[in-house]
A and B are shown apart, each in its own frame.
Chain A
Amino acid sequence: MDSIVRHGRTVEEAVASAARELGVDASRLEVEVLDEGSRGFLGVLGQRESRVRVTVNPGKEARVEAVVGEILAHVNPDAEFSVDSDEQFISVRIEGDNLGLIIGRRGETLNALQYLVNVLCGRGTEDRRSVIIDAGDFRSRREEDLVGLARRMAERSIKSGRQVRLDPMPPHERKIAHLALHDDERVQTHSEGEDPARFVVIAPRE
């Protein structure tokens, strides 16, 4: 990765000058201060300029691509993937044959992969966008399944007059279940327990 060294009266000025030179916003630079500089004595004696080395941070997308590529090379080297992003999310789509292994039972492996990539790519960056990983059309199919399940369990809860607990699931899946019943005035939903065993509870409204 390219880095340049710049001087300035202060560290901030040196960074600003480097940012102008590289044509990027200063927030995208990783800065290593080589010399804080010194104002000297009475502004004359021992005056020294600040010196910084800056590197352009390639952005979270590049990091995600590198990490997913490294992990997939060990689990499913034949699979291909692409990375897409908007203001809210960085989305990874894995395509190929035999995606079952990377998806796992009920998406267990895909969720573990997604969690690890979020941990590995969330460190050392201000970029808080979360990474969503899908393989084939797993997540969209899973969403349909979860909406169907939530609705069936809501009916059961209304008929029996009791609350129904769904199996533990990760946060993004619980959200789908909550949203599926959000407009159903006959029931209310909440979550109980602690991740990774946190689960959705559907209860008839009084």
Chain B
Amino acid sequence: MKISFTNKQFWRIASVVFIMAVWKILSLIFSSDFVLPSPEKTLVTTLGLFSEKHFLVIVGSTVMRSLAGFTLSVILGIGLGIIAGTHPPFNAFLQPILITIRSIPVIALILLALIWLNPGSVPVFIAILTMFPFICINVIDGIKSVDPDLTEMARFYRVGRSRILRELYFPAIMPFIISGASSAMGIGWRAIITGEVLSQPLYGMGTWMQGAQTFLNVDAVIAWTILAVIISFGFEKTIRWGERKLTAWKF
């Protein structure tokens, strides 16, 4: 059987092989599992995670937190974004708030949330604060990009307000919502795990990562990390799939 790769695929695979090789060499140099375990050992540990007691609850809790944070951010971001995009005074009012939230270091948000909230809700709170501004800002930009000729046409043809919103504004800003959602998910996912490491909810990937770190199970720390990367990749793929479904007219 002959397996053929495209040029792009070849370099992607080469990149993964390169990372593995560097990892292997470094692990040989350090030759200590407490510093850097070998890729093979880590792979075994990663597979072992699946048989961990409560594995599904641990991963499920973190995923649910991110989905909850994401959903609330999308609702809030689209809602406020549409109002701000169509009402300049509200936009002027909202901009400094968005810029402030975006400029606050995530760790500062976590420290404050730890004081204010219970451990389970800290990561969700962090997720909203990191994700919502991305989506909101993109929605505002999206509304600004709506072709005034089209809105004029709709008004001339006396199309109702709600239909203009649903069938003109909403599809026009959809690509912006998706690109906002994609950056939000990337940043929010990392913030959630950071939040879990510090707030130590009963179940969560961050909690387990922190536990592994305490006992110097470096292979387990890396194994959870690999899992986090794979899940994040899954989110990204889902968003891109949604993009093809929701903006089919662009493809």
Say whether A associates with B: no
